[in-house]
Amino acid sequence: MILAAGQGKRMRSDLPKVVHPLAGRPLLAHVIETARSLAPAKLCVVVGHGAEAVRVRFPEASLEWAKQERQLGTGHAVLQALPHLDEGVVLVLYGDVPLIARDTLASLVDAAAKGSLALLTQHIADPKGYGRIVRDAAGKVARIVEEKDATDAERRITEVNTGILAAPRKLLAGWLSRLTNDNAQREYYLTDIVGLAVADGIAIEVRNPGAAHECLGVNSKSDLAALERLLQMNQSQRLLEAGVTLADPARIDVRGTLECGRDVSIDVNCIFEGRVVLGDGVTVGANCILKDVTVGNGTEVKPFSLIEEASIGANARIGPYARIRPGTELADEVHIGNFVEVKASTFGRGSKANHLAYIGDSTVGSAVNIGAGTITCNYDGANKHRTVIEDDVHIGSDVQLVAPVTVGKGATIGAGATIVKDVPPGGLTLTEKKQLSKPGWKRPTKKK
């Protein structure tokens, strides 16, 4: 079960805390992904504040949902989820602790499977705010005391409770039924089950996280920013170890998955969202954004380019300041240059649009050259229409192609033309206008 019912007042936001983004995904999504890696029979999320705002972001049918109508403590929250879970080991996670690792959780589950209560604890230099692990004279865990209820001596304990635990469902249900709210917070503490387990003679197994950052939680925007940088630096380190050249490991954001071939180079301030695949020898210039993109070997993406939901072939050149919109497929050796926008279009091998153009809803053949200022007029105010430009077409500057229209193979269109009918293959097509000069004409002046 994942506890995600808290309001998160310190976030100072109308959004429930667990849907705030970390590396491009809600905090809760990270926890769900890790939980699923353990192949649980059931996965239940406990929601409370902003329940619908949480649920709408996770439409998967495989999730169970439980609602905590009143915030009466973690013990009460767990009790809401218990009816949704079958017999076996119950693992309790938190929707605002997103970096917990699979191996750490697997060790807890294995310990609880032997009939024990398994706790995840860690030693920290400054334990302020955490529940302390109180051990008996033999060094065994006796109970957990929350800071507000702790004595001065107990507050000096540096072993703290992370809140994450695992236990057989039958035992957990029995302990939850015996909880009371006789404490400073007047809440039903989940941590009180430790004392009940000791009283019942149940073994308590303690495990520690593989890395200290695994148990960091989010209670404020400051916490969220710190975790973002930590996560991004971890991802940068993995990329560096895989042989990727990063101009500055502190200035790259991966908000999804980034797969890189050999000899990939990424400049500063680049953002990768969704699933991005960069082939061998790809270079990405500064300040680029790539979302759900595949880039072929040897392609160069120049600075300040935005590419979304597109496929780019090998040895292509994109940008600078290019925008490639969803549904675009560019073949090998395509050039899309300065301030060129391409949407829902295909470009054949070696075709070029190097300057100030808009190509939308188009099929562009091979070896086509599109001049500066050319646009496809694909929208009539109600419907989109397609432009077809066949192989080896040359289009001059400042041409308007009014769709639906087809430009035949090998045709040339002169500068400034407005094409409203199909163009035959080969030859030159113009829409001629006379040039008129008026000697002695004077510009109008501004009235005083």
Residues with active-site annotation: 355
User: Residue 33 CB: number of other CB atoms within 10 A?
Assistant: 12
Residue 425 neighbours by CB under 8 Å, 6+ apart: 390, 408, 409, 410, 411
Amino acid sitting at position 320? P
CA 7 centroid distance within chain:
22
Spatial distance between the Cα atoms of 283 and 213, rounded to a whole number of angstroms: 32
Which residue, among 1, 189, 167, has the nearest Cα to 95 in the 3D structure? 1
User: Residue 368 CB: number of other CB atoms within 10 A?
Assistant: 23
Spatial distance between the Cα atoms of 249 and 396, rounded to a whole number of angstroms: 43
Q: State both tokens at 365.
A: 């053949």
Spatial distance between the Cα atoms of 382 and 9, rounded to a whole number of angstroms: 46
Q: State both tokens at 201.
A: 């003679």
Whole-number Cα distances in Å, 1 to 73, 171, 316: 15, 16, 48
What sign does the CA torsion over 145, 147, 151, 154 have?
A: positive
SS3 call for 354 = strand
Query: By the 8 A CB rule, do 332 and 353 touch?
Result: no
Residue with tokens 């148990």: 215
Spatial distance between the Cα atoms of 20 and 50, rounded to a whole number of angstroms: 12
Residue 319 neighbours by CB under 8 Å, 6+ apart: 285, 288, 301, 302, 303, 304, 305, 336, 337, 338
Spatial distance between the Cα atoms of 345 and 101, rounded to a whole number of angstroms: 42
Spatial distance between the Cα atoms of 104 and 100, rounded to a whole number of angstroms: 7
End-to-end Cα separation, the chain, in angstroms: 76
CA 156 centroid distance within chain:
39
Spatial distance between the Cα atoms of 429 and 419, rounded to a whole number of angstroms: 9
CA atoms within 13 A of residue 414's CA, in its CB half-sphere: 7
**DSSP classification of residue 145:** E
